[in-house]
Amino acid sequence: MRRGQLLETGKPDELMQSHEQQTLEGVFLELSEERDFCDIHQYSHETKKLSVPGVKSISLFCLCVGRKLTGLPIAFVTREYDRPGTATEIILTKIDRIIFNIIEYDSLMDAQHSLDIGRTSGIIDIGGNFTKELYHKMTNCSYTEPVRLHDSQLSVYLDRTNQQFVYTVGEEFMKILKTFDVDYNDAQITQSNKTLITFPNSLDGNGDVEFTYFMAPGIILSIIFFMTMAVTALSLVTERCEGTQDRIWVTGVKSSEIIFSQMIVHSVVLIIQISIVLFTALYVFKIPCIGHLLYVALLCFAQGFCGMTFGLVLSSIFATEINAHQVTISTFYPVLLLCGRN
């Protein structure tokens, strides 16, 4: 026995024979060294688990969520042969080649085949009289003939199984078509910096905000809350299983002092965790912070304090680590859904 814990049980002769020692003191020394090595390894492993997940979570969120789609393969079919100065040429020059990978095809049938086999994600189809009919449509405002109406339209066929892809394509083509203008003197369609439709910024912020910026506050608070709750939910359970809590009660320590000491220790860990998460989000991934950084840190600390107290409640109720883990995991989605849209 060492520090109130049994290292190994058995008869003296069997212990000395199994550990190949001549005396019981040698057996005790060997068992103590093994236990110290295991404790050091476990402590370093737990410290690594405490520091790494917060950084990994916020890094994966900033890298994977809300990024613009790039390199989308799009089949391009046009039957306009004289391209210079036409609307087709304007569209090709205005398309963002970082977002779209334009693959030209001679016929709509070939483009349809590439879409069917998954080589492309969409088709842009432009008729042979697109520029002429588009000019007449814009000058005459409407068409009664279905054939001429179809020739004046740019047909886009998309793979609608991916809604983010559909929204990205629609947004980009709206930007392109907003820069078209009609030159009535030369009877041609030209590029223009003027737009017929404007979308001013909203009153409560910038209208051109990435999805990552919209999701960042909720993700940061969720990471801090659940990481703190997961750590504190096992603190009292571990002490109870190791017998540390019984020895503390024997020394005359009050329950309020135990809770107060737990809150101090985990508050220090919480402050370190908040610093790492905010540094990773604001300075590494350049997520804008509109407002004072101190208020953001206080809000994160308040959220983490709620997670810490909730974890201590769970730790005081359950007697085993398995039950505490199960309840901690099961509370993830209910708490997340109660947080609102973030």
Report how far apart the first and last C-alpha atoms of the chain are (Å, whole number): 52
- 202 within a domain of the structure (yes/no): no
pLDDT at 48: 45
**Measured distance CA(131)–CA(183) in Å, rounded:** 12
Do 76 and 148 fall into the same domain? yes
Do 214 and 172 fall into the same domain? no
Do 95 and 220 fall into the same domain? no
pTM over 0.95: no
- 254 within a domain of the structure (yes/no): yes
Cβ partners under 8 Å of residue 8, min gap 6: 15, 27, 31
- List the CATH number of the domain containing 152: 3.40.1710.10
159-201 confidence digits (pLDDT tens): 776 667 777 787 887 777 776 655 434 445 555 444 433 444 4
Counting Cβ atoms within 10 Å, is residue 169 exposed (0-12), middle (13-18) or buried (19+)? buried
Residue 65's H or E segment, with its range, is none
Do 221 and 96 fall into the same domain? no
- 200 within a domain of the structure (yes/no): no
pLDDT at 245: 75
- 4 within a domain of the structure (yes/no): no
Number of domains the chain is built from:
2
Do 80 and 142 fall into the same domain? yes
Range scoring the smallest mean pLDDT among 159-168, 274-283, 299-308: 159-168
223-250 confidence digits (pLDDT tens): 898 888 888 888 888 887 777 777 777 7
The residue range of the domain holding 156 is 72-191
Do 291 and 322 fall into the same domain? yes
Do 184 and 249 fall into the same domain? no
The three state secondary structure string of 198-261 is CCCCCCCCCCCCCHHHHHHHHHHHHHHHHHHHHHHCCHHHHHHHHCHHHHHHHCCCCHHHHHHH
Do 177 and 299 fall into the same domain? no
